[in-house]
Structure 1
Amino acid sequence: MKKFSANVIENQKVNFLFDDSKNLSGLSDIEFKKFKKIFIIFDQALKNSWVKEISEIIKKSKSELHLIPLKGIENIKSLREVEKLLYFLEESNCSKNDLIVSIGGGTILDLSAFVSSIYMRGVKLVMIPTTLMGQADASSAGKTCINGKQTKNLVGSLFMPLYVYNNIHILKTADKYSHRQGLSEIFKYGLLGSKKLIRYLEQYARDSLENDPLLLKILIETIKVRIKLRKIDPLVSNLGHTFGHAFESESKNLVAHGDAISVGIVCSLKLSLKKRYISKKLYSQLIKIMRDLNLNINIDKSSNVERVVNLMKKDKKSDGDQIGFVLLTDIGKIAKTKNKKFLFLDAKYVSSFLTELYKDKDFLVTNHWKQLIKNV
């Protein structure tokens, strides 16, 4: 097993564990016995597989266990669900010295981390991601969040778990659809900060996305890049997200987060090309890698420019009609406005850019969001 520790947020040390054992032996590194009560928030779809095995290991600690099953869907990232969880913790006399264990993909991790951060101003947390998206992104930088009525990840806090336990074999129970979502975020981190990670991904594609030792290297490198970017600014990692979150919200979450972000990256690369920040050669190379990784590079024909731009105005990086973007000038290099960490473009310019982009018949596909769900 490989492991390392990092101070991702000031005075909040997190221990990352990377286990390649089938019997989850790496969980023994976590001292569950120190906690009187342990609350396990998990994706109910996992109840008869990994949750059962993990719970049996935790039971050996003799702690009082409370199991909290939830649907691992985007709609649970809501204030209503937060209130229900807070009420359960309060009624169960959860104290600041107890532990919350979160088992699932990105939605479960986001929600449970947010609840952990606000209950009694912070309850200790262990994250056990069961998807590639969860292992590579949702668990590694302390960005907890829930959605607003119209805007994704509108409400959140910065809070790190004590441990993040990543196991390669847990990922084998996830389908190709889920795997694709995680690869989109990993590719993003390669673009933002690691040519080594891009090389790993090119090799992973040549291996037909079937190489566990390489995937472990990919995960470790991804998280190291994620931590490095987090120390610069949490929003620097938002390449493709200004577009992607808008597509996701516009579709009412019909398109999965990773698929929305990957086509958001395509839009960002096209915008970087239009602004002459990157060369046509680099653009073509990166799009080829995306194709080889089977990432989504199209949007649904139902997408509407005005709706998308209005949603982009609500992005965390935006300021009124000035829409904030993370754009590349090269792998690992970000375009910036003077004295700003991001590039700001007027909404009218963005609208004009998208209007022109939407004229590309190969870019817009009829019923594409639904086709992505079937394309597993």
Structure 2
Amino acid sequence: MKSKQLTLALLTVSVIGLLFIPVQPAFATGRAEQAAEARPIVWKFPIASVPGEPYYDLYAQHLKDEIEARTNGRLTIEMFSETEIGTGPEIVLGLQTGAVEMHSQAFSILQSYVPEVSFLSLPFIIEDKDHMARFMETAEGRDLLRAGEDYGVYIFRPGVMGYLFPVARNRVLPTLEDFRGFNMRVIENTMHIDTMRALGANPVVLPYGEVYTGMRTGIVDGYVNDRTSFVYLSIYEVGPYYTELPVFVSGVSMVVSKAAFDALPPDIQIIVREVIEEAVPIVQAYSWEYNVAGDPAWKGQMFREYVSMEEITLEPFVKAVAPLYDRFLRENPGQRRFVEAVDRVR
């Protein structure tokens, strides 16, 4: 009898205890989930320009403002100087892992880890921005966009911003003879190095930050880039001779981390894609106008002497680099279809 009474007493205590165990109400759980959803997603966007420069104001700031406005602040963009994030390879690794979410990349950087893009470093491959746009409308152009997914990134809107034209310390370079023995600064890119050799120049690899000093001291006789770079480096002070020889295209693409993009809610993915697709053509058109098609008066104001594209016969240059195409296609047979598509819409 006593045993039964003890058991009953213990059960009673247990039941009473259960009544006083705090229970998380369903609405409280819902509030916690809503709070988590309300916290903004933050993306890092390293850029090379600063406020006041057209690229920053017309493009980077516009992307930030539009994405944040259209997502009602659910996705915020933090812009950093590229040097705050790290070196080029560190930014690439960040994109592939999701530590960096978006970056505007030159073709020469993109090809360092998406090899399908490397054909765009061939000399004289793209005629102008419209030619590039026609190529991107082909099946091969669409395949090029998808190629980045295998390397952890999405590629948006590759486009041509201008050409990489030569500037020099002591002469213009309108003929092959002018290149003979010329010490030309190049980036550490095999195609750029081989192109200068094919044209008769001596390629000298030199970091971008050392170009001005290198030209002033005679380490190099010249280098190739676009008007934006010439102004940024004040290169006309040490390189007053300018030649509109369109050796390489100045091309960029918006690159987005696949890991970061795939983690976004579907509606925000749509917004990000729409904003990029709207913004990139604007900055590309502006850059083309600034670097190539705009008022030519700046050339006379900036340089002691210049030669325009209309004054240059391209055929000897194209013939000189033809062996590079043959070798490139032998070594990269999978890119033949891209080169053929470019030629098809020329």
Same fold, TM exceeding 0.5? no
